[in-house]
């Protein structure tokens, strides 16, 4: 790299592939994996001494649009993985605005102004700065929640949020909340998600800024919603049982690449004739333009033998658990007989380029894969309740890989739910709008951590983004609102307690007496309220 750029000092770091913390599970089975809960911490920064090739320099964060100079990136290539590395660490707010693209923000400004004119008959005059301030308030509500959103603007000390009240008036926030839109209602279609379709299409494009990792996870995400809508789903066993179902493609570390909301026959995924599960896998791979060589991990909702054959033809790796009712033509030992075998027993069958493995743990688990030419095993620990100690059990390598890389979508959902936006609305599409901001925030944090090399956690990252938006784009009001009833009640109780109220000379000549409204230099020492000596007793009720 230094030979190609002799005038620049190149410092190239190779970032290792992310791995989730190993979860010691005592129950691998053919049951649904939808109740899996992943958990990751910060991964250690490992430096690899490997050959790297500089592919591209001076990549603009804003797709070539002329703006103020920002951090320049280098794209480095290590074998089949491509990563971006910056010479100076970009601001977290810039990364978030990269994930939540300018095109989507411009659509929101235009359609919100149009909606206000069409339905309310008045101009909203929403500007881009106000929209970004609006986003900052919503993100702040994720980690600093109050029972009612109006409390953010209260002057009471226990709930007052200075960063929000100094960025936007409460009345202006309510006006934006009532009119925010991303589509023109006069051009409605038969798409059940017409109201939010631009959100999914724009985010699916912006999320591709992260190069595809080798291991990809496919699963369904749930956006919580408890109202009435034709596309609301119920999934037993999910942490979020009621809501909108979204077919999602994510990396094993939790970075979301592509998502398509499920709406029955109107779902925008191609039909392959292989069934719903295989159509989702192949459809996400096509629409996301996943390069050949990537490996898909999926649960038993999607896995079929025909899917393995199709993925092999397309140059993709595929591995997933299988349901027993999809193995009718496979000559495995009957389930009742196999359950009597000792723990760690495995059975292997090969069909062309497919490898079918059945393994006995606490229950029976069956995995199909096209990524292994021969069967291999690894050793894992399992708790023996009779000996009250761990036993070393042989586990098929394909099952070990499944446990290691499955759960990326659930991990993304977990990160989104930690600091989700608490501001609510009665509109059916509001949960999707709020979820999109949280999803972009989680992706921005993963990009900042894995590509840029940042070390801050998601909470700190969210606080930096929200406060940067409020400080940079907010407009401080000239004055605050009036006192609330609670503040007046607390002050009145202390006003008449007849304890430690003493007059002092403040030496300020232009104060107005609270009782007679005339000028005075004296005030109450406890309250700081301007009062004449003559008015002191009457004010405190002595």
Mean pLDDT for the stretch of residues 330-352: 91
Half-sphere exposure of 461 (CA within 13 A, CB side): 24
Among 394, 411, 435, the domain-final residue is 394
Query: What pLDDT score does 540 carry?
Result: 82
C-alpha of 109 from chain center: 23
431 compared with 39, residue with greater pLDDT: 431
Residue 448 pLDDT exceeds 60 = yes
Contact between 527 and 533 (Cβ < 8 Å):
no
Is residue 218 a contact partner of residue 205, using CB atoms and an 8 Å limit? no
pLDDT band at 490 (very low <50, low <70, confident <90, very high): low
Stretch 470-481: mean pLDDT: 85
Q: Which residues contact 401 (CB under 8 A, 6 or more apart)?
A: 297, 319, 371
- Answer whether residue 269 is part of any domain: no
Asked if residue 110 belongs to a domain, the reply is no
CA distances from 172 to 131, 137, 306, 457 (A): 11, 12, 56, 32
CATH number, domain of 527, equals: 3.30.60
Q: What is the DSSP string of 3-57?
A: TT-TTS-----PPPPP-PPP---S---SS--TT------PPP--------EEEEE
Query: Given 340, 362, 394, which residue is the final one in a domain?
Result: 394
Residue 378 lies in a domain: yes
Q: Report the percentage of the chain scoring pLDDT > 70.
A: 81
- Is 83's pLDDT higher than 70? no
Cα 35 from chain centroid? 18
Can you read off the two tokens belonging to residue 36? Answer: 């899996």
Which has more confidence, 69 or 204? Answer: 204
Run of H or E residues at 489: helix 485-495
Q: For the chain, first and last CA: distance in Å?
A: 84
Given 394, 429, 446, the domain boundary residue is 394
The values of phi and psi at residue 211, to 5°, are -60, 145
Across the chain, mean pLDDT equals: 84
Angstrom distance (rounded) from CA 117 to CA 123: 6
Residue pLDDT, tens place only, 23-74: 333 444 455 444 434 333 443 443 334 333 334 333 344 444 444 444 343 4
The pLDDT of residue 13 is above 60:
no
pLDDT tens for 288-339 read 999 999 999 999 999 999 999 999 999 999 999 999 999 888 899 999 999 9
- Within-domain flag for 408: no
Q: Residue 452, SS3? A: helix
* Dist CA 458 CA 418 (whole Å): 9
- The pLDDT score that the predictor gives to residue 538 is 84
Residue among 49, 51, 73 at smallest CA distance from 60: 73
Give yes or no for a contact between 448 and 454, defined as CB atoms under 8 angstroms apart: yes
Query: Does residue 509 lie within any of the structural domains?
Result: yes
Tokens of 175: 């006006």
For residues 456 and 467, give the distance between their C-alpha atoms in angstroms, rounded to a whole number.
Answer: 15
Residues of the domain holding 492: 485-540
For the chain, the domain total comes to: 2
Q: Is residue 522 part of a domain?
A: yes
Using alpha carbons, select from 395, 314, 397 the residue that is nearest to residue 355: 397
Tell me the backbone φ, ψ of residue 289, rounded to 5 degrees: 55, 50
> Higher confidence at residue 534 or residue 74?
534
């Amino acid at each position: 790299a230094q030979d190609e750029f002799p005038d620049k000092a190149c410092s190239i770091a190779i970032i290792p592939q992310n791995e989730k913390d190993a979860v010691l599970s005592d129950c691998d089975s053919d049951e649904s994996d939808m109740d899996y809960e992943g958990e990751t911490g910060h991964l250690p920064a490992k430096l690899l001494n490997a050959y790297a090739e500089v592919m591209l320099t001076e990549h603009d964060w804003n797709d070539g649009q002329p703006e103020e100079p920002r951090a320049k990136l280098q794209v480095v290539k290590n074998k089949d993985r491509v990563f971006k590395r910056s010479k100076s660490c970009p601001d977290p707010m810039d990364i978030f605005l990269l994930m939540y693209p300018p095109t989507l923000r411009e659509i929101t400004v235009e359609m919100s102004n149009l909606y206000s004119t069409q339905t309310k008959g008045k101009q909203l005059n929403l500007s881009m700065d106000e929209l970004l301030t609006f986003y900052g308030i919503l993100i702040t509500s994720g980690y600093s929640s109050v029972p009612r959103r109006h409390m953010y603007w209260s002057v009471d000390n226990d709930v007052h949020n200075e960063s929000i009240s100094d960025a936007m008036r409460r009345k202006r926030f309510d006006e934006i909340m009532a009119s925010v839109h991303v589509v023109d209602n006069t051009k409605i279609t038969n798409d059940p998600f017409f109201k939010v379709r631009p959100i999914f299409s724009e985010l699916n494009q912006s999320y591709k800024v992260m190069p595809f990792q080798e291991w990809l996870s496919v699963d369904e995400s749930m956006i919580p919603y408890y109202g009435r809508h034709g596309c609301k789903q119920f999934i037993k066993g999910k942490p979020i049982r009621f809501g909108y179902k979204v077919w999602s493609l994510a990396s094993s570390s939790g970075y979301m690449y592509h998502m398509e909301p499920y709406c029955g026959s109107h779902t925008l995924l191609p039909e392959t004739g292989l069934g719903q599960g295989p159509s989702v896998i192949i459809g996400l791979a096509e629409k996301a333009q996943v390069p050949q060589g990537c490996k898909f991990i999926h649960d038993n909702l999607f896995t079929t033998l025909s899917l393995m054959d199709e993925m092999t033809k397309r140059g993709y790796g595929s591995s997933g658990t299988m349901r027993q009712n999809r193995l009718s033509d496979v000559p495995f030992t009957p389930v009742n007989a196999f359950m009597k075998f000792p723990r760690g027993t495995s059975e292997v069958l090969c069909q062309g380029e497919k490898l079918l493995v059945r393994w006995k743990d606490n229950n029976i688990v069956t995995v199909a894969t096209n990524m292994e030419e021969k069967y291999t095993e690894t050793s894992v620990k399992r708790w023996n309740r009779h000996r009250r100690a761990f036993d070393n059990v042989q586990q098929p390598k394909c099952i070990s890989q499944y446990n290691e890389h499955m759960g990326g979508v659930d991990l993304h959902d977990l990160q989104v739910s930690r600091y989700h936006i608490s501001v609510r609305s009665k509109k059916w599409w509001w949960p999707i709008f709020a979820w999109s901001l949280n999803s972009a925030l989680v992706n921005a944090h993963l990009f900042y951590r894995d590509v840029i090399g940042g070390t801050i956690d998601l909470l700190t990252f969210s606080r930096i983004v929200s406060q940067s938006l409020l400080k940079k784009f907010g407009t401080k009001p000239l004055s605050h609102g009036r006192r609330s009833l609670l503040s007046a009640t607390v002050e009145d109780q202390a006003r008449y307690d007849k304890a430690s109220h003493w007059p002092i000379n403040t030496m300020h000549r232009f104060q107005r007496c609270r009782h007679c409204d005339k000028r005075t230099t004296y005030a109450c020492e406890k309250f700081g309220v301007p009062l004449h000596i003559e008015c002191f007793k009457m004010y405190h009720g002595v």
